[in-house]
Structure formats: C-alpha cells, structure tokens
Structure 1
Amino acid sequence: MHLFDLLKSKNIKVTEIPYWGIYFRNRWEERFVFHLSQLQKEEIHLYGNRYFCGYLWHVFSYDRRPHLCAHEAIQAFNEVKKAKCYIFYQHSADVILVEQADVLEAANFTEEDDVYIVDEAFTWTFVVTHERDYGPYFCKV
C-alpha cells in the first residue's frame, strides 16, 4: 500500500487494517447514500462492474447528495477537525487508520484513485476519484 508507506515516512501514526474494506464501503454507503432507494442507486450506477459502474462517489457526481467539489472540497478537508480518520479504497480490502489525523491534507491524496477518507464517526468524507474531471468531493452529514 503506497499511501501507507508515504504517511508512515512522514512520521504519521498509521495502522493497516486488512480485509475490512467491504465493511467500510458498506458503512460509508449507509451513512452517505441512505436516502436513495435501491432503484435510485442503480440509476446512478452505484453498483456493478461494467463500464462506469460501481463507484460510491457517484452519489456526488450525479448530484444526489449536497457536497463541495474541487477547490472548495480541498479547502473544507484541510480545515475540518481531524482526530482519527479511516482511509479506504473503492477496490481494496485494506483500510488505514490514521491517529492524530490533523496533519492530513488533501495534498497527501493527489496521487490516489477512488480513495475515501472519513472521520471516526463517519460525519464527513473526502473522496478523490480516478476521474480527474470529477471531484475531489467533500460532504458533511
């Protein structure tokens, strides 16, 4: 995990949590996409593995949840209070726990694709997509 090593090299306290990616993606969906019906989720291609399907961040790109985008999202993430954070990916089973996460900045994630950062209680999220024309996104619930 490249990001894990990068953060560790900056003396940031990180712990790798293997095999918890599915749990965190499901929890993220419960927290940030709960308001959509199953049909609405299918309409925005939230699930699947064909073409552009299967990305949780579609809830933002299809404007189905209020959010900040681009520079406003970066600014909001950099300014939000961060104690502990979890970092997980759309297509990985591993999760990273960051303690004393106030040192995290959006710049730490510029080389990442489909990465989700959440606080410990899932009250906010910062998402960097593989599509450079979309995002990054920031949302508070």
Structure 2
Amino acid sequence: MELFHKLARRNITISKQSGFGAKWRQQWEEVFARHLTAEEKRNIHLYDDDGANGYLWHVFSYETRDCLTEEEAEAAFDREEKKCCYIFFQHSDDAFKVEDASGLKAVDLVTENGEYADLYVVDSEFNWTFVITHERGWLGPYFSRR
C-alpha cells in the first residue's frame, strides 16, 4: 500500500475501493480495446493465456490504439484537468478512488519498490487513461483518450 500512503501524505483524498479492480479492468477493456476482435486481443496477449501474463496496456505497445508515450504521456496527464479519478492495477484487485485529483501528477504514481508496477488511472467517466507499465523506461507510460 505504499502508493496509497504516499498519496495520502500529499493530502490527496484517496479511498480504497474493495472489489473494484476487476470491474474497472473490464470497463477499461470495453472502452479502450473495444475496437479489437477476440482474436486480435489474443494476438496481442491482452489476457493471461498459455503461461504468458496478459496486459491491457498491450493495446498501446502493439500500436493498435493511438496514444502518447513516455514524457509526452506524463506531460499530458499532468496537464489534464482531473477531478475524480480511479486508480487500479493489472494483477491486483486493489483499487483506489481519488476525489479531487487536481494535484495528482505522474511522478506521484511511481513507487520506489515497484509495487503496483502496472497501474491504470482513468477519470470517473473513462474518457482518458494514463498507464504506467512494469517495463518503465522501455514501454510506456501511455496516455490516451476515448
């Protein structure tokens, strides 16, 4: 819970949302990967399958959806007018709600020990997403709009 405490120490109003991780991953897929067929999703390893970990952010790394990357993605996220947003993770059902995210910046989401390395942030309407991957420095971060 390093991230939760880190944000709380910055006086960012954050609350734990038990049971919402899977729900928000599903909603993210419905919004940001809806253009892909089931076969295309398998081809880009969107899901855990045959011993390989799946990642929703593969829609960006396989270039099947337009996005900003790296510093441009971080800058777009920092500039975004953020009100309520959700934070959730690829391989954890932990999820957080940030009531007033106006002060939330990309640098706030990086953790020292790699906890929650595959992190997704969306506004409450899923109009945009910011993703930090475990491949930081090689793939991502990504920012995309609906």
TM-score by length of 2: 0.93
User: Is 1:136 aligned with 2:141?
Assistant: yes
C-alpha displacement of 1:68: 0.3
Provide the rounded CA distance (Å) in 2 between the counterparts of 1:85 and 1:96.
8
Unpaired runs of at least 5, structure 2: none
Provide the rounded CA distance (Å) in 2 between the counterparts of 1:86 and 1:20.
10
Identity of aligned residues (%): 46
Greater shift in the superposed pair: 110-119 or 73-82: 110-119
Provide the rounded CA distance (Å) in 2 between the counterparts of 1:13 and 1:110.
18
TM-score by length of 1: 0.96
Provide the rounded CA distance (Å) in 1 between the counterparts of 2:123 and 2:145.
10
**Aligned-partner residue type, residue 118 of structure 1:** V
**Aligned-partner residue type, residue 82 of structure 2:** K
Question: Residues 19-55 of structure 1: CA distance to partner in whole angstroms, max 9, x if unpaired?
Answer: 211000000000000000000000000011523x310
Question: Residues 39-78 of structure 1: CA distance to partner in whole angstroms, max 9, x if unpaired?
Answer: 0000000011523x31000000000000000011001000
Provide the rounded CA distance (Å) in 1 between the counterparts of 2:109 and 2:11.
16
Provide the rounded CA distance (Å) in 2 between the counterparts of 1:77 and 1:6.
18
User: Is 1:126 aligned with 2:130?
Assistant: yes
Please identify runs of 4+ aligned residues in structure 1 that moved more than 2 A.
none
**Aligned-partner residue type, residue 73 of structure 1:** A
Alignment of 1:11-26 (within 5 A): 11-26=11-26
- 1:116 pairs, out of 120, 124, 131, with 120
Aligned positions, number: 140
- What is the RMSD computed on CA atoms of the aligned residues? 0.9
Unpaired runs of at least 5, structure 1: none
SS in structure 2 opposite 1:76?
helix
Provide the rounded CA distance (Å) in 2 between the counterparts of 1:91 and 1:102.
27
C-alpha displacement of 1:10: 1.1
